[in-house]
């Protein structure tokens, strides 16, 4: 099995509600091809008046190996434990210290296979066919009050910031986010601001209906 951003979004929300009381902040998600790390969790630090704030959390999952869905879910939960500890501001005894292992054991009692170290022995390399090996794009679709339609290929790192600003633009009648592997978007730059390509309403409808919705 291989996963995509939509799968990550969906299962993060489910696990956040089931195991973390919806207290975890929504991170950025990315999917890579790392051989030695099945998952990663990162964040930035800012120190103000002697207090450290953690922000811009990101979770990455590797599609290098062909894992069963249970394996991918266990990796995601591993990274969500890291996220929970980092977000709380509590300092563990080590990256996989006492607090991490306590939370790991609690989740594993529910049937998961969360481990401290990555074990790739026995996992098969995911041999992707041409259809699966397509580049993934984050797309912003905007309909203006005057009827104009725009499509933008957005840099994933900037999507959350742009999403927060969209509701304040009065000229926008409707907007939505999508994920796609449509090669049509290869011709477009991955923007970091509100720039896009104006398209006909017919093409706008055709493209948005073929893409997977992305929720924030």
Written in H, E and C, the secondary structure of 184-200 is HHHHCCEECCCCCEEEC
Q: What is the pLDDT of residues 152-189, one digit of tens each?
A: 999 988 999 999 898 889 999 999 999 998 989 988 88
Same domain, 182 and 78: no
Which conformational region is residue 28 in: left (phi greater than 0), alpha (psi within -120 to 50 degrees), or beta?
A: beta
Residues ≥6 apart with Cβ < 8 Å to 207: 139, 141, 151, 180, 182, 184, 199
pLDDT at 128: 60
- Residue ranges of the chain whose pLDDT lies below 70: 127-134, 216
- Strand, coil or helix: 207: helix
Percent helix, strand, coil in the chain, to 5, is 35, 30, 40
Residue 81 and residue 59 in one domain: yes
Residue 117 has a pLDDT of 83
Cα gap 123→114, rounded to integer Å: 16
My answer on whether 103 and 153 are in the same domain is no
Q: Return the pLDDT at 130.
A: 47
Tell me if the pTM is above 0.75: no
For residues 213 and 38, give the distance between their C-alpha atoms in angstroms, rounded to a whole number.
Answer: 25
Q: Count the alpha carbons within 13 Å of 150 in the hemisphere toward its beta carbon.
A: 18
pLDDT tens digits, residue range 11-28?
999 999 999 999 999 999
Last residue of a domain, one of 127, 157, 179: 127
Token pair, residue 176, equals 């939505």
The pLDDT value given to residue 82: 96
> How many CB atoms neighbour CB 152 within 10 A?
23
Domain boundary, last residue among 93, 127, 161 = 127
Task: Give the per-residue pLDDT at 141.
Answer: 95
pLDDT, position 178: 94
**Residue 132 falls inside a structural domain:** no
CATH (domain of 117):
3.30.2010
- 114: region left, alpha or beta (phi > 0 left; psi from -120 to 50 alpha): beta
């Amino acid at each position: 099995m291989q996963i995509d951003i939509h799968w990550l979004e969906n299962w993060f929300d489910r696990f956040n509600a089931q195991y973390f009381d919806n207290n975890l902040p929504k991170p950025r998600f990315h999917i890579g091809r790392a051989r030695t790390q099945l998952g990663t969790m990162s964040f930035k630090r800012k120190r103000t008046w002697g207090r450290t704030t953690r922000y811009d959390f990101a979770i990455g999952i590797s599609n290098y190996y062909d894992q069963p869905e249970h394996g991918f879910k266990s990796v995601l939960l591993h990274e969500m434990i890291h996220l929970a500890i980092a977000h709380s501001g509590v300092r563990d005894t080590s990256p996989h210290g006492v607090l991490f292992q306590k939370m790991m054991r609690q989740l594993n009692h529910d049937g998961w296979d969360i481990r401290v170290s990555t074990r790739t022995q026995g996992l098969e390399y995911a041999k992707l066919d041409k259809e699966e090996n397509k580049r993934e794009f984050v797309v912003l679709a905007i309909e203006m009050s005057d009827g104009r339609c725009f499509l933008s290929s957005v840099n994933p790192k900037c999507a959350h910031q742009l999403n927060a600003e969209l509701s304040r633009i009065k000229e926008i009648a409707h907007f939505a986010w999508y994920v796609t592997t449509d090669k049509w978007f290869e011709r477009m730059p991955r923007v970091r601001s509100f720039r896009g390509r104006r398209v006909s309403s017919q093409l706008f409808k055709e493209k948005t209906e073929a893409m997977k919705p992305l929720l924030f």
